[in-house]
Amino acid sequence: MYIMRLDDAAENWKKENWHRMHDLLSKYNIKPIIAIIPNNSDPFLLSFDKDKEYYPTIHKWLKEGWTPALHGYDHVQDSLSGGINPVNKRSEFAGKSYYEQYIKITEGYKTLSDHGIKTNIFVAPAHTFDKTTLQALRNSRRISIISDTVANDVYYYNGLFFVPQQSGEVREIFFKVTTFCYHPNTMSDEQFIKLEKFLKRHSKDFTDIKKVKFKKRNKNTLDKVLSALYFTRIKIRQLIKNNR
Ligand SMILES: [Zn+2]
């Protein structure tokens, strides 16, 4: 089954793209995870206008069944570590001290709470975090689920549930659980068209993260092999790029 995830909701966002995404997903009755940046300081995102209707819009969509997630604290990825899910070699969290990470998580959570948004899901900016992040998340006592790992199915590790997130765009993948992660702020017309084509055929294959059964199972051999293949492919790509 598929899960949809939308990253980088912030007061400064490309409003028209988010509304286009909302209308598209509503048409096919898909309820995504929306990864919300509590205190956005990302210079790229700050280049968009501040939306005065931002929080009312978020609340409207949450009422319709969208699920909020804590997307770090400020979205500034000033660490060059890839951590334990090295999709990128930059991070807001991986490589930083426990104290710094704990404060980001608890302050980020508090900001969302102050706006009436409660969540138990964490989405790391740039998909990157390390074991210290997991410790800080556990100790925050707020977060029990991480959306981001390469695996076939949901698993339990270090006191947290991990929901696989394997692709940045829709395609037919036959993992037990697949999350597609979109960034509406930077989506092109072609990406919206391709997404709708896929939804026309596959909308019934999507589920809502609220309906996922969280069983405390360990990562199995298949999950480990898939993860190794995925990250080996990234390393090979990087080697080829560096040798050009
Ligand atoms: Zn992000």
Asked if residues 41 and 74 have their Cβ atoms less than 8 Å apart, the reply is: yes
Query: Which residues span the domain enclosing 6?
Result: 2-242
Which tokens belong to 94?
């991986």
- Burial class (CB within 10 angstroms; exposed 0-12, middle 13-18, buried 19+) of 33: buried
Q: How far is the CA of 89 from the centre of ligand 1 (A)?
A: 14
In the reported structure, the alpha carbon of residue 37 is separated from the centroid of ligand 1 by a whole-number distance in angstroms of 8
Distance 126 CA to ligand 1 centre (A): 6
SS3 140: helix
Q: Which of 153, 183, 144, 193 is nearest to 32 (CA)?
A: 183
Residue-level pLDDT at 59: 98
- Residue 140 belongs to domain with CATH number: 3.20.20.370
Q: How far is the CA of 21 from the centre of ligand 1 (A)?
A: 16
pLDDT tens for the chain, residues 1 to 244: 999 999 999 999 999 999 999 999 999 999 999 999 999 999 999 999 999 999 999 999 999 999 999 999 999 999 999 898 888 889 999 999 999 999 999 999 999 999 999 999 999 999 999 999 999 999 999 999 999 999 999 999 999 999 999 999 999 988 999 999 999 999 999 999 999 999 999 999 999 999 999 999 999 899 898 888 888 888 888 888 888 7
Give the angle subtended at the CA of 94 by the CAs of 121 and 151, to the nearest 5°: 55
| Span from the CA of 208 to the centroid of ligand 1 (angstroms) | 20
Contact criterion met (CB below 8 Å) for 143 and 105:
yes
Give the pLDDT score at 32: 98
Asked whether 177 and 212 are in contact (CB, 8 A), the reply is yes
211 CA distance to ligand 1 middle (Å): 24
pLDDT of residue 230: 86
Residues 45 and 7: beta-carbon distance below 8 Å:
no
pTM exceeds cut of 0.85: yes
Q: How far is CA 183 from CA 118, 136, 169, 180, in A?
A: 22, 26, 10, 10
Structure tokens at 210: 């609220």
Q: Which residue in 2, 28, 5 sits closest to 197, CA to CA?
A: 28
Element (H, E) at 145: strand 145-147
Provide the pairing of β-strand 67-70 with 33-36. Answer: parallel
Number of separate domains in the chain: 1
Instruction: Give the pLDDT score at 173.
Output: 87
